[in-house]
Amino acid sequence: MNAPFYKFGLFNFDVSLIIAFIIGIGFGFALERGGFGSARILAAQFYFSNMRVLKVMFTAIVTAMIGLYYLSVIGFVDLSLIYISETYILPQVIGGLILGIGFVIGGYCPGTSVVSFATGKLDGLMYILGVMFGIFIFGEIFPFITDFYYSTNMGSVTLPQFFHLSYGMVVFLVVVMAVGAFALAEWSEKKFAHRNPENQL
């Protein structure tokens, strides 16, 4: 058996939608368990008092990255069949900056706002409506910014390719970086414990 299963035709498109729903349940469940339905906990990341965003995100990235690495090394997963979006470095850097500012103002990102709404939070719903309004604005200005949107295309490029390092080496470096970030996060949570919203629940 070879993976990704869908790319090897193990099931059709309609079945993939059922799988999408099931994977979504796992995604939403994990986000809610992690406290990501709460804007106060998410925003506290940017005031150093609650570092769940960093901890959960980096642990998830490291877990999936290591899993995929070993599954590809043993030849189970064909990495070339996994979709890697192309890099358009300048629009992505500017987009990331705008998104980060929006994160602190609104308290959510799109996925977490869905979880917040699912657990009855009105600000989560307002946030979703805001995201859709923002997408509408983007759609309306798209004809005027098309050139910028497609600028600085670097193709589909990964960190190992860009830095001329082996796949395993980059995996190792990311793990080292994550462990360092976790140590800093634990230290910062202790230092700013007095304003951690989780301690006030």
Partner 1 sequence: MTTLVQKLSSVFAKDKEMVEVKTKPYSNPYLTGIGLGLVLLAAFVIMGRGLGASGAMSTLVAVGINTVAPEHTQSNPFYSEYLGDGTTNPLKDWLVFEVLGVLAGGFISGSLAGRVKKGIEKGPNITSKKRLLYAFVGGSLMGIGAKLARGCTSGQALTGGALLNLGSWAFMMMVFAGGYAAAYFLRRQWL
Scanning residues 11 to 30, which ones bind partner 1 (CB under 8 A)?
16-30
CB of residue 147 to partner 1, shortest distance in Å: 13
CB of residue 193 to partner 1, shortest distance in Å: 14
Determine the size of the site formed for partner 1 (CB under 8 A). 130
Does 181 contact partner 1 by CB under 8 A? Answer: no
CB of residue 177 to partner 1, shortest distance in Å: 11
Round to whole Å and give the CA distance between 47 and 37.
18
Does 196 contact partner 1 by CB under 8 A? Answer: no
Binding mask 114-143 for partner 1 (x = CB under 8 A): xxxxxxxxxxx-xxxxxxxxxxxxxx--xx
Interface with partner 1 in residues 40-79 (CB under 8 A): 40-41, 43-47, 51-52, 55-65, 67-68, 71, 76-77
CB of residue 118 to partner 1, shortest distance in Å: 4
What burial letters (b/e) apply to 20-58, b meaning 16+ CB within 10 Å? eeeeeeeebeebbebbbbbbebbbbbeebbbbbbbbbeb
Amino acid symbol at 75: G
Interface with partner 1 in residues 79-118 (CB under 8 A): 81-89, 91-118
Q: What is the DSSP string of 52-111?
A: HHHHHHHHHHHHHHHHHHHHHHTTSB-GGGS--PPEEHHHHHHHHHHHHHHHHHHS--HH
Round to whole Å and give the CA distance between 60 and 63.
5
